[in-house]
């Protein structure tokens, strides 16, 4: 059984962190930005951690009853589900991708791209038929739904197995450095019934779950301020909010979560993950993901399998995980990197600063935060395209990922696989995968000197 991290850290060493500046002579003739106002990346939810637990502590400012629920939610997040009937945690599957939340969000962070794509991992394929439902959602593939479960409880057949092949894409930087990107092509094999040839596939890998409550309470107006759907300012960058069907309220709401911003709330994201990833039904998603399928029903009639309060406190857990503070922000090469980040126009989409509005959870309300995301959809080019639309997101569009905590990925998860399917092996590769609206930024990155590139990476790794 996994141990559970549940101790809050107080932010008592901040002054120490910012007092020992490592200025060198470059600052004398370069106008370097100060990053000190970005130290509290999550506002008062910030923690100062540099270990494998950096994503896993409760926000230090949450109140007593929220903390109690957070700690219970932490246990729930690690709970392993088993075949029904059972005295606890019953109802895994029948078809599923994994058996606990934490197995796809290890240490509340990122899973690596799996060495064996059909072992249990944080990876799966979404599927749909061409077109959209009336409410904009993707059209489920009959017999498969919108997500392929490649695992099943014993005696049942998974929907199919995944297969991946790679094509090399060689990028040459201006100093001659050659980097070979591996472009994955996914397919489905060994499906339990024939899979339609015209169906669309889109890969997904789990993403970090800290700081989500803050993103949920950025006001819609603040997000829309950065929209520029028709690129009226002519900078080549548009930015578009997704509007999605929200099962919690039965209405259309702005999308904030998921790789294509196709989910409005964390509660729905959690319910969707329980249902789609683990085969656990809840009051929001009461129908088994394999309902009506020959491999999809265990016949116990025990739905919803998850108690309402467990779903709610797991959502609260994700909302109230602390945001780790940036490191080395007074070091001059980090500050140079921040300047280059601006010059390359990375910050036009990875907007550093946001403000939260009101929140039912007091700790999250009215915080100045530094997620480095505009929460908007952008055309990222053909190289990254999944060619599968999801509400207003077209097949080339992805939501800007927050960059906070990115430099801690290696210490938390012992890898640096990034992007929606974990295809990038490090931050440099992730940058080189940028295209579409980010093509200019990528091309400017390729022109950088080795020193400038390293400073940019130092800055990103300081987040």
Binding flag, residue 229, another protein (CB under 8 A) = no
Distance of alpha carbon 345 from alpha carbon 334, whole angstroms: 17
Binding flag, residue 1, another protein (CB under 8 A) = yes
Report, in Å, the least distance between residue 323 CB and another protein.
17
Distance of alpha carbon 306 from alpha carbon 308, whole angstroms: 6
The span of 207-215, 273-281, 405-413, 449-457 binding another protein (CB under 8 A) equals 405-413
Alpha-carbon distance values, 387 to 127, 136, 140, 184, 271 (Å): 11, 15, 15, 14, 26
Footprint (CB under 8 A) of another protein, residues 6-25: 6-7, 12-13, 15-16, 19-20
Number of residues lying near another protein (CB under 8 A): 48
Footprint (CB under 8 A) of another protein, residues 51-80: 51-53, 71, 75, 80
Binding flag, residue 88, another protein (CB under 8 A) = yes
Binding flag, residue 100, another protein (CB under 8 A) = yes
Give whichever of 84 and 424 is closer to another protein, judged by the CB atom: 84
With CB under 8 A as the contact rule, the residue among 153, 200, 223, 419 that binds another protein is: 153
Q: Which of 404, 402, 398 is nearest to 384 (CA)?
A: 398
CA count, 13 A, side-chain hemisphere, 57 = 22
Cα of first residue to Cα of last residue in the chain, in angstroms, is 31
With CB under 8 A as the contact rule, the residue among 32, 120, 173, 347 that binds another protein is: 120
Report, in Å, the least distance between residue 304 CB and another protein.
19
Q: Which of 27, 35, 18 is nearest to 342 (CA)?
A: 35
With CB under 8 A as the contact rule, the residue among 45, 94, 97, 112 that binds another protein is: 112
Binding flag, residue 454, another protein (CB under 8 A) = no
Report, in Å, the least distance between residue 264 CB and another protein.
31
Report, in Å, the least distance between residue 61 CB and another protein.
18
* E strand spans, 70-139: 95-96, 123-132, 138-139
Q: Which of 199, 189, 203 is nearest to 141 (CA)?
A: 199
Q: In this structure, what token pair is assigned to residue 239? A: 């930015």
Give whichever of 50 and 177 is closer to another protein, judged by the CB atom: 50
Alpha-carbon distance values, 251 to 81, 243, 248, 254, 325 (Å): 31, 10, 8, 10, 36
Binding flag, residue 126, another protein (CB under 8 A) = no
Report, in Å, the least distance between residue 19 CB and another protein.
5
Give whichever of 75 and 139 is closer to another protein, judged by the CB atom: 75
Q: In this structure, what token pair is assigned to residue 294? A: 């020959």
Contacts of 388 (CB under 8 A, 6+ apart): 126, 128, 138, 200, 201, 202, 395
Burial string for 139-161 (b: 16+ CB within 10 Å, else e) reads eebebbbbbbbbbbbeebebbbe
Report, in Å, the least distance between residue 377 CB and another protein.
31
Report, in Å, the least distance between residue 238 CB and another protein.
37
Report, in Å, the least distance between residue 371 CB and another protein.
22
Q: Which of 227, 269, 253, 258 is nearest to 136 (CA)?
A: 253
Give whichever of 1 and 170 is closer to another protein, judged by the CB atom: 1
Question: Under DSSP, is residue 313 helix (H, G, I), strand (E, B) or coil?
Answer: helix
With CB under 8 A as the contact rule, the residue among 5, 164, 347, 365 that binds another protein is: 5
Give whichever of 5 and 224 is closer to another protein, judged by the CB atom: 5
With CB under 8 A as the contact rule, the residue among 64, 131, 155, 299 that binds another protein is: 155
Q: Which of 68, 73, 88, 6 is nearest to 266 (CA)?
A: 73
Q: Which of 273, 284, 330, 325 is nearest to 307 (CA)?
A: 284
* Torsion sign over Cα 367, 368, 370, 375: positive
Report, in Å, the least distance between residue 391 CB and another protein.
33
With CB under 8 A as the contact rule, the residue among 63, 414, 447, 449 that binds another protein is: 414
Binding flag, residue 411, another protein (CB under 8 A) = yes
| Distance of alpha carbon 155 from the chain centroid | 33
With CB under 8 A as the contact rule, the residue among 154, 167, 194, 301 that binds another protein is: 154
Report the 10 Å Cβ neighbour count for 376.
25
The span of 31-39, 215-223, 408-416, 429-437 binding another protein (CB under 8 A) equals 408-416
With CB under 8 A as the contact rule, the residue among 161, 415, 444, 446 that binds another protein is: 415
Footprint (CB under 8 A) of another protein, residues 325-344: 327
Give whichever of 109 and 436 is closer to another protein, judged by the CB atom: 109
Report, in Å, the least distance between residue 215 CB and another protein.
26
Binding flag, residue 119, another protein (CB under 8 A) = yes
Question: Which residues on adjacent β-strands are paired with residue 218?
Answer: 356
Distance of alpha carbon 434 from alpha carbon 180, whole angstroms: 14
For another protein, the binding residues (CB under 8 A) are 1-7, 12-13, 15-16, 19-20, 49-53, 71, 75, 80, 82-89, 92, 99-100, 103, 106-107, 112, 119-120, 151, 153-155, 327, 410-411, 413-415
């Amino acid at each position: 059984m996994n141990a559970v991290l549940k101790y809050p850290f107080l932010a008592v060493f901040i002054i120490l962190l910012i007092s020992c500046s490592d200025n060198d002579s470059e600052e004398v003739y370069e106008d370097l930005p100060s990053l000190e106002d970005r130290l509290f990346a999550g506002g008062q939810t910030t923690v100062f951690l540099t270990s494998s637990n950096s994503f896993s502590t409760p926000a230090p400012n949450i109140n007593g009853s929220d903390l109690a629920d957070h700690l219970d939610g932490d246990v729930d997040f690690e709970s392993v589900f088993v075949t029904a009937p059972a005295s606890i945690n019953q109802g895994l599957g029948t078809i599923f991708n994994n058996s606990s939340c934490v197995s796809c969000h290890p240490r509340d962070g990122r899973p690596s791209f799996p060495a064996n794509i059909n072992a249990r991992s944080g990876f799966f394929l979404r599927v749909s038929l061409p077109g959209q439902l009336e409410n904009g959602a993707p059209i489920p593939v009959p017999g498969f739904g919108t997500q392929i479960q490649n695992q099943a409880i014993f005696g049942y057949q998974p929907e199919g197995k995944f297969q991946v092949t790679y094509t090399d894409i060689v990028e040459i930087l201006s100093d001659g450095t050659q980097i070979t990107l591996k472009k994955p092509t996914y397919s489905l094999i060994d499906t339990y019934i024939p899979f339609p040839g015209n169906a669309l596939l889109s890969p997904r890998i789990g993403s970090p779950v800290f700081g989500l409550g803050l993103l949920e309470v950025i006001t819609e107006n603040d997000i829309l301020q950065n929209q520029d759907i028709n690129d009226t300012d002519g900078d080549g960058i548009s930015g578009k909010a997704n509007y999605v069907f929200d099962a919690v309220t039965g209405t259309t709401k702005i999308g904030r979560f998921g790789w294509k911003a196709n989910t409005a709330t964390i509660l729905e994201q959690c319910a969707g993950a329980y249902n789609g990833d683990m085969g656990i039904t809840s009051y929001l998603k009461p129908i088994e993901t394999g309902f009506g399928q020959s491999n999809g029903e265990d016949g116990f009639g025990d739905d919803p399998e998850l108690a309402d309060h467990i779903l709610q406190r797991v959502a609260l857990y994700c909302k109230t995980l602390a945001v780790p503070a940036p490191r080395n922000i007074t070091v001059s090469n980090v500050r140079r990197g921040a300047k280059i980040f601006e010059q390359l126009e990375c910050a036009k989409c990875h907007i550093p600063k946001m403000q939260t509005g009101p929140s039912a959870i007091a700790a999250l309300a009215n915080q100045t935060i530094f997620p480095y995301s505009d929460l908007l959809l952008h055309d990222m080019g053909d190289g990254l395209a999944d060619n599968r639309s999801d509400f207003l997101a077209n097949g080339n569009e992805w939501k800007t990922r927050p960059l906070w905590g990115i430099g801690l990925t290696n210490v938390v998860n012992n890898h640096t696989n990034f992007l929606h399917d974990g295809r990038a092996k490090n931050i440099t590769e992730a940058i080189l995968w940028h295209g579409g609206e980010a093509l200019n930024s990528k091309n400017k990155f390729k022109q950088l000197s080795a020193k400038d590139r390293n400073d940019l990476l130092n800055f990103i790794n300081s987040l």
